[in-house]
Structure 1
Amino acid sequence: MVRRARRINRELAEVYPYAHPELDFRNPFELLCATVLSAQTTDLRVNQTTPALFAAYPTPEDMAAAVPEEMEELIRPTGFFRAKTKSLLGLSAALRDEFGGEVPGRLDDLVKLPGVGRKTANVVLGNAFGVPGITVDTHFGRLVRRWKWTDEEDPVKVEAVVADIFPKSEWTMLSHRVIFHGRRVCHARKPACGACPIAPLCPSYGEGETDPEKARKLLKYEMGGQPGQRLSPPADYPGKPAPALGAG
């Protein structure tokens, strides 16, 4: 299992050499806020929403002083906007009052912030601070169970199992590759098995569409010739930028 898991990671690295966090951000504070907003919605919808949010509140000090009702209107498209506003106001005040207006670079500090759990903390650490971390979102959990790396459902237990399979230096990029594959090919309801580049390594091959032509029609984002999720993707991203809110 370990040998197969590591080979899957190597194969995914060749398929997605451009794998990256799919949230637009320019600094740790923006990534932290965007990750909190990404709960129960798509990264695309977050990316379409955050430009106005960060224009209005570019720093923790600015955000902590926001009028809740005004922030709610800005982030309404992401859903659960009242709870998310409460989290953003709380974490911004904590950053202002306890961390000098800076996002901390330690897991123990991050998870103490309102609305921030291990998943969000690992996203921030891995992509804003270069600290290796495994991001167990719904895609990651689904795929590692399909690949028989673990049968655990609890994200913390999944993280621990996967951390034992791979060297720490691989954790952050492994997370990106697995999540990319889950969003583009290995979907929850109908995986595109017939168009999957790692099909020979998959113990669950056949759960989805195996006909190559039909499977190719299931591919999403750049794999399916459609725009990605970021309005400002990295320079090496081979797909099209996502449209701004209201642009299609």
Structure 2
Amino acid sequence: MTKKQRAAIVINELEKLYPTVPIPLDHTDPFTLLVAVALSAQTTDRKVNQITPALFAVAETPFKMQNLEISEIKDLIKEIGLANQKAKNLKRMAELLVERHDGEVPQTFEELEALPGVGHKTASVVMSQAFGVPAFPVDTHIHRLMTLWKLTSGKNVQETERDAKKIFPRELWNKLHLQIIFYGREYSPARGKREGDFITKMLNL
């Protein structure tokens, strides 16, 4: 079976499973999505969704976020990992959004990645999910499954993203990366039983 054939099976089966895919992180606009994605590093989406309501109740805009003390932000996000650094990043991010972008979330990768705590993956999520720009954010689920399905030989998420963009049609990127994440969580967890991972079995892997 060729790589293209395997990719076609993956696309077909994921579309059957997840014809519609919700965005896992709760948000109301590009700024709250940006904050939620930045907070999700080394933390589960579920945990982020538990703590963001209290944060957004007092700082749902860059203007309000910049007025909080770092200690106040930290207190609101203390249950997630790396809270100290994330609190500093959120305050500085908000300040820069106000100073450079009139309080709006920029719509280019370069400007997003210039913000504190915003790497390429975070920028890709915001570009794809907030602005509809084709992107393929790669997390550990996607990297692991793409490797398992022999769709990449990438040694890191950057190489896996490159391969994903080559093999999957551009118009599917924004939906497909979420479908793979949902599949990984439901059928092929990194730890635990993977008996339900039928796509891998279909690919004879």
- Fold-level similarity (TM above 0.5): yes
Letter paired with 2:21: A
Deviations 1:104-154 (A, max 9, x none): 111111111111011001111111101111010010100000001112122
Aligned length: 203
- Per-residue CA deviation, residues 13-65 of structure 1 (Å, 9 max, x unaligned), is 11112322210011000000000100111100000000000111121011012
**In structure 1, C-alpha distance between the alignment counterparts of 2:127 and 2:191, rounded to whole Å:** 31
Q: Please give the secondary structure, in 2, of the residue aligned with 1:3.
A: helix
TM-aligned CA deviation for residue 203 of structure 1: 4.1
Show the counterpart of 2:151. Answer: 149
Name the SS of the counterpart of 1:77 in structure 2: coil
Cross-structure match for 2:184: 182
Give the aligned partner of residue 129 of structure 2.
Answer: 127
Partner of residue 16, structure 2: 14
* Pairwise CA RMSD: 1.2
| Unpaired runs of at least 5, structure 2 | none
CA shift for structure 1 position 191: 4.4
Q: 1:98 aligns with which of 97, 100, 107?
A: 100
Question: 2:78 — aligned with what?
Answer: 76
Q: Deviations over 1:170-228 (max 9, x none)?
A: 111110010001111111123423x2342443343xxxxxxxxxxxxxxxxxxxxxxxx
For 2:95 and 2:203, the matched residues in 1 are separated by: 46
Counterpart amino acid of residue 173 in structure 1: K
1:29 aligned partner: 31
TM-score, scaled relative to structure 1: 0.79
Q: Comparing both structures, which one devotes a greater share of its residues to helix?
A: 2
Tell me the residue number matched to 2:56. Answer: 54
- Alpha-carbon shift at residue 167 of structure 1 (Å): 1.6
Tell me if structure 2 keeps the 8 A contact 1:147–1:203: no
**Whole-Å Cα distance in 1 between the matches of residues 201 and 22 of structure 2?**
25
CA distance in 2, matches of 1:202, 1:88: 43
**Structure 1: how far apart are the matches of 2:144 and 2:44?**
17
Find the counterpart in structure 2 of residue 166 from structure 1. Answer: 168
1:202 partner amino acid: L
- Out of 25-34 and 84-93, give the one that drifted further: 84-93
Mapped partners of 1:111, 1:183: distance in 2 = 27
Q: 1:158: how far off?
A: 1.0
Seen in structure 2, the aligned counterparts of structure 1 residues 78 and 93 have a Cα distance that, compared at 3 Å, is same
Could you give the per-residue CA deviations for residues 58-105 of structure 1, whole angstroms, max 9, x where no partner exists?
210110121111110100111211010011111111110001100011
Report the counterpart of residue 199 of structure 2 in structure 1: 198
Is contact 2:65-2:91 (8 Å) kept?
A: yes
Q: Give the letter for the 1:29 counterpart.
A: F
Verify: 1:107 aligned to 2:106, yes or no. no
Partner of 1:215: none
Aligned partners of 2:187, 2:34: CA distance in 1, in Å?
A: 27
Separation in 1 of the partners of 2:193 and 2:145? 10
TM-score by length of 2: 0.95
Q: Describe the SS at the equivalent of 1:32.
A: helix
